[in-house]
Amino acid sequence: MTIYLFYFLSFLALLSALMVVVSKNPVHSVLYLIITFFAIAGHYVLLNAQFLAAVHVIVYAGAIMVLFLYVIMMMNFNKESEPSKTAFSQILATVAGGILLVTLTGALRVSDIEIPAGSTEAGSGLVGALGKVLFSKFLLPFEISSLLFLAAMTGVILLGKKNSNNI
Amino acid sequence: MQTLHNIPIHLYLILSSVLFAIGVFGVLLRRNAIIIFMCIELMLNAVNLLLVAFAAFLGDTQGQVFVFFIMAVAAAEVAVGLALLTMIYRNTGSVDIETLNKLKN
């Protein structure tokens, strides 16, 4: 039963990821990317990481994609103004992506990863278990990430100011 | 939880590889800088999915904490990147990456 759910979610994620790349309209790309993120959140639920799935939906589908949509809305794209590469470059891009895919899957296929499955206990993906690890072992990186956000916020305000046009 | 033991880890490895390759393919194929950003998000998500899969299979919560930090860095990266793109758009009138070659000569 779960394997069919896995295949369905994988198919949805891969199809919409491909549509992100090939669709001409940037707004359609954003909407397909949201579908991909929901499929990946479904994978997280299958992998017993429920809290991470919720955070993924909130952060990616809720915050980041809204930011993308705002920027696209302000820039007023349409299908005609969408630049595209030459046919030769597109063929080269396809070949390069295909070679990367073949290399990755080939390397993973010959590597025999033996993982003793069955060691997860229920509730290890909930907020209690994660918070214990986050606030004990990863306390310093957690605080440093707040510094990262402060720096990002300051940088965004500095870049977004009206009179910063002397690049 | 015995839900995940029906699914072998190899399927997650293949799924993440294909998602990552689609992201690289998009970066190489497109000229719109915003779409390139989205493809970078796609690659980050492929790696996140693999981290969660290994965390679940190894029974280790620390992998999920790593995914948290990757999400935090991705959010900061998107904010700064989109601010840069809006500034580029304000100064040059497009986000086509082929027009950004002023440092070439």
* Single-letter residue type at B30: R
Q: Does A100 touch chain B (CB under 8 A)?
A: yes
Asked if A17 and B42 count as a contact pair (C-beta separation under 8 A), the reply is yes
Tokens linked to A27: 């707004």
A-facing residues of B in 66-95 (CB < 8 A) are 67-69, 71-80, 82-87, 89-91, 94-95
The three-state secondary structure class of B8 is coil
Q: Which residues of A touch B101 (CB under 8 A)?
A: none
Query: Whole-number mean pLDDT of chain B?
Result: 87
Domains observed in chain B: 4-95 (1.10.287.3510)
Min Cα–Cα distance to chain B from A118, Å: 7
Q: What is the pLDDT of residues A74-84, one digit of tens each?
A: 887 766 667 77
Q: What is the pLDDT of residues B89-103, one digit of tens each?
A: 888 888 888 888 877
- pLDDT tens-place values along chain A, 167 residues long: 788 999 999 999 999 999 999 998 889 999 999 999 999 999 999 888 889 999 999 999 889 999 999 998 888 776 666 777 788 888 999 999 999 999 998 888 887 776 665 555 666 778 888 888 889 999 999 999 999 999 999 999 998 887 655 55
Q: How far apart are CA B28 and CA A97, in angstroms?
A: 8
Q: Which of A43, A69, A68 is nearest to A57 (CA)?
A: A43
A156 vs B22, B67, B80: nearest CB:
B80
User: Which residues on B lie below 8 Å from A160 (Cβ)?
Assistant: 83, 86-87
* Mean pLDDT confidence for B76-87: 92
| A 134-153 → B contacts, CB under 8 A | 134, 137-138, 141, 145, 148-149, 151-153
Query: Who's near A97: CB < 8 A, 6+ residues apart?
Result: B21, B22, B24, B25, B28, B29
